[in-house]
C-alpha cells in the first residue's frame, strides 16, 4: 500500500490505525497532489506543507493511534475558523493576516481524532456568495473548470472533488456546505442547531451558520460529523420512511430548472423502490420567509465586518455595498430569535406528517467561474438569488439538511434531504441507502486518481 490518494477517509484511517501505512506517507501523497493541482483549481489559499508533515509524524507517534477515528486523514479547513498559528482571512485582503492564537473547537476535535490539517480553503469575501472567488483567486469546479465550484465553501468542495483531500470542513449560513457539494458532486451535510459547536464570525449570521462536512461518501461524512459532534452516527438501513417530494421553491419569483426538478423526481422514485412511503407534498412556506432570509444575508456579513475590521475601505466594492445594506437592516429591523420560532411553528405540522423532505439543492446549473468580485454587487446578488435560493430556509429553521449527488451527464446533479431537529441520523441513513442503491462518481472524472486526464497516475495501490 504505497499511497492512499483517492481512498475514502474510512479506509485511510483504518490503514493508519493498523500500521499498514503511516500518517506521514498518507499526508505526503496528498501534499504532492495539492502541489500539482491547486494552481489550476484554486482550492487552497494556504497549504500547510511543513506543519502538516510534522503533525502527521506526531500522529504516528501517538500511543492511542490504534483508537483514533480519523488517524492520519488529511483534512481541509475553510479559512473562516481559527487554526493555531495561521492567519484567518475570511476570503478578504482587508482582514489582517494575524496568526491565530488557538484552534476553533471543530479543529481541536479533528486533531484529537487524528486528522491532519493540510491547508485552508478559499471562499468568497466574508462568505457571502454561493460562488467562490476572492482576492486570493478563483476556485474552479473540477467537473468543468469553466464553472464555479459553488460557495461559500467552494474551495473545500474543489479540494474533495479532485481528491486533494478525502474530506473537508465547511460552514453553512444559508447553504454554503450544500451548494458547493451539489455543484461538485459531493455529499454535504449541515447539522441542526447545537449539534456541532458553531462560534462563527460576529454571531454566526445571527445563529444561522453551522460547521458541516463535505465528503465523497456518506460513511466518510458520518465519520467526520460524528467527530465534530462528539457522537457516532450509525448507517443501518432506516425503517420505512415517510418521504415528501417537493420541487416548489420557498418563495415567489424563483424558477427551478427542469434538470433540478428531474433529479428530485428520479430520487423519489428510487426511494419508493427501496420500500419507503413517497408522496408529493409541499411545505407551507410563509410569505415573509424570503424577505427574512434576505435580511439575514445582508445583516450577517455586516455584523462579521464590524467584528473583523476597523473600516470598510479594503473590501471589494460589492462587499462594501452588501455590508452597508446590512447595516441599514440592523438599524431598521434586525434579525430576531422569534423568526426561527415562527418558522418552526409553521413547519412542524409538515414534519409531523413526514420524516424526510426531498427537494432540489440548487435552482439552476452552476454559473461561470469568474472574478465576480470585480463586477457589480447587483450582478452577484441577482445570480445568488437565481442559483441558490433553495437551502436557506433550513438554516433559519435550524433543521439538519444534506445534499446528495445524483449522477448526470456533464455536471453532477443533486437533491436535498431535510429532516426535523435531531434527525441527522435519518438523513445519513437515507443518503447511505441511496448511495448503496444508485451510487455516484466519487471524484470529477478528469481529476479521478489514475483517470483520463493523467492527473494522478498509479496512485492508491
**Structural class in CATH, domain 9-286+335-447:** alpha beta
Task: Find the catalytic residue in 92, 152, 246, 384.
Answer: 152
pLDDT band with cut points at 50, 70 and 90 for residue 202: confident
Q: What's the confidence (pLDDT) of residue 3?
A: 74
Smallest CA-to-CA distance from 70 within 233, 220, 189, 232 is with 220
Average pLDDT over residues 139-154: 98
The larger pLDDT score, comparing residue 450 to residue 146, is at 146
In angstroms, rounded to a whole number, what is the distance separating the alpha carbons of residues 239 and 119? 39
Q: Let me know if 152 is a catalytic residue.
A: yes
Q: What's the confidence (pLDDT) of residue 461?
A: 24
Q: What percent of the chain has pLDDT over 70?
A: 97
Q: What's the confidence (pLDDT) of residue 455?
A: 57
pLDDT above 80: residue 102: yes
Q: What's the confidence (pLDDT) of residue 237?
A: 84
Mean pLDDT of the chain: 95
In angstroms, rounded to a whole number, what is the distance separating the alpha carbons of residues 285 and 412? 28
- Report pLDDT digits (tens) over 238-250: 899 999 999 999 9
Average pLDDT over residues 290-310: 95
In angstroms, rounded to a whole number, what is the distance separating the alpha carbons of residues 76 and 106? 12
Q: 177: how many CB neighbours lie within 10 A of its CB?
A: 33
pLDDT band with cut points at 50, 70 and 90 for residue 452: low
The larger pLDDT score, comparing residue 114 to residue 3, is at 114
Smallest CA-to-CA distance from 324 within 138, 128, 64 is with 128
Query: Which strands form 44-47's sheet, in the order they lie side by side?
Result: 44-47, 116-121, 74-78, 167-172, 210-215, 187-190, 401-406, 413-418, 356-359, 242-245, 277-280
Task: Find the catalytic residue in 176, 181, 246, 295.
Answer: 176
pLDDT above 50: residue 170: yes
Smallest CA-to-CA distance from 428 within 151, 227, 243, 217 is with 217
Please tell me whether residue 386 adopts helix, strand or coil conformation: helix
- Report pLDDT digits (tens) over 372-405: 999 999 999 999 999 999 999 999 999 999 999 9
pLDDT band with cut points at 50, 70 and 90 for residue 450: confident
Q: Let me know if 190 is a catalytic residue.
A: no
Question: Domain extents for the chain?
Answer: 9-286+335-447
pTM above 0.85, yes or no: yes
Amino acid at each position: 500500500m504505497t499511497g492512499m490518494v483517492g481512498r475514502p477517509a474510512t479506509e485511510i484511517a483504518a490503514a493508519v490505525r493498523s500500521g499498514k501505512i503511516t500518517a506521514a506517507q498518507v499526508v505526503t501523497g496528498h501534499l504532492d497532489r495539492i502541489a500539482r493541482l491547486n494552481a489550476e483549481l484554486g482550492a487552497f489559499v494556504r497549504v500547510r506543507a511543513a506543519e502538516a508533515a510534522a503533525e502527521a509524524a506526531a500522529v504516528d507517534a501517538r500511543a492511542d493511534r490504534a483508537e483514533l477515528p480519523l488517524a492520519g486523514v488529511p483534512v481541509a479547513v475553510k479559512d473562516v475558523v481559527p487554526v493555531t498559528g495561521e492567519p484567518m482571512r475570511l476570503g478578504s485582503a482587508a482582514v489582517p493576516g494575524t496568526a491565530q492564537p488557538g484552534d476553533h473547537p471543530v479543529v481541536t476535535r479533528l486533531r484529537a481524532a487524528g486528522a491532519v490539517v493540510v491547508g485552508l480553503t478559499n471562499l468568497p469575501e466574508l462568505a457571502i456568495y454561493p460562488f467562490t472567488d476572492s482576492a486570493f483567486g478563483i476556485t474552479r469546479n473540477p467537473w468543468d473548470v469553466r464553472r464555479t465550484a459553488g460557495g461559500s465553501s467552494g474551495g473545500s468542495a474543489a479540494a474533495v472533488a479532485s481528491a486533494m483531500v478525502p474530506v473537508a470542513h465547511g460552514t453553512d449560513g444559508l447553504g454554503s456546505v450544500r451548494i458547493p457539494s451539489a455543484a461538485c458532486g459531493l455529499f454535504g451535510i449541515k447539522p441542526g442547531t447545537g449539534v456541532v459547536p458553531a462560534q462563527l464570525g460576529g454571531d454566526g449570521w445571527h445563529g444561522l451558520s453551522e460547521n458541516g462536512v463535505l465528503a465523497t461518501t456518506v460513511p466518510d461524512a458520518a465519520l467526520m460529523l460524528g467527530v465534530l459532534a462528539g457522537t457516532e452516527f450509525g448507517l443501518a438501513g432506516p425503517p420505512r420512511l415517510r418521504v415528501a417530494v417537493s420541487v416548489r421553491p420557498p418563495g415567489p419569483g424563483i424558477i427551478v430548472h427542469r434538470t433540478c426538478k428531474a433529479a428530485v423526481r428520479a430520487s423519489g422514485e428510487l426511494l419508493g423502490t427501496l420500500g419507503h412511503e413517497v408522496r408529493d407534498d409541499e411545505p407551507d412556506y410563509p410569505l415573509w420567509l424570503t424577505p427574512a432570509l434576505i435580511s439575514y444575508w445582508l445583516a450577517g456579513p455586516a455584523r462579521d465586518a464590524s467584528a473583523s475590521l476597523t473600516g470598510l475601505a479594503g473590501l471589494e466594492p460589492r462587499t462594501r455595498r452588501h455590508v452597508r445594506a446590512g447595516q441599514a437592516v440592523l438599524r431598521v429591523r434586525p434579525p430576531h430569535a422569534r423568526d426561527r420560532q415562527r418558522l418552526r411553528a409553521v413547519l412542524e405540522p409538515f414534519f409531523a406528517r413526514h420524516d424526510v423532505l426531498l427537494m432540489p439543492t440548487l435552482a439552476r446549473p452552476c454559473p461561470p467561474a469568474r472574478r465576480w468580485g470585480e463586477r457589480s454587487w447587483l450582478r452577484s446578488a441577482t445570480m445568488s438569488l437565481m442559483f441558490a435560493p433553495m437551502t436557506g430556509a433550513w438554516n433559519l429553521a435550524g433543521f439538519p439538511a444534506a445534499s446528495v449527488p445524483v449522477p448526470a451527464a456533464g455536471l453532477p446533479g443533486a437533491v436535498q434531504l431535510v429532516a426535523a431537529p435531531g434527525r441527522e441520523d435519518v438523513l445519513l441513513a437515507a443518503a447511505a441507502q441511496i448511495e448503496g442503491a444508485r451510487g455516484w462518481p466519487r471524484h470529477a472524472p478528469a481529476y479521478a486518481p489514475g483517470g483520463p486526464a493523467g492527473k494522478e497516475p498509479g496512485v492508491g495501490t
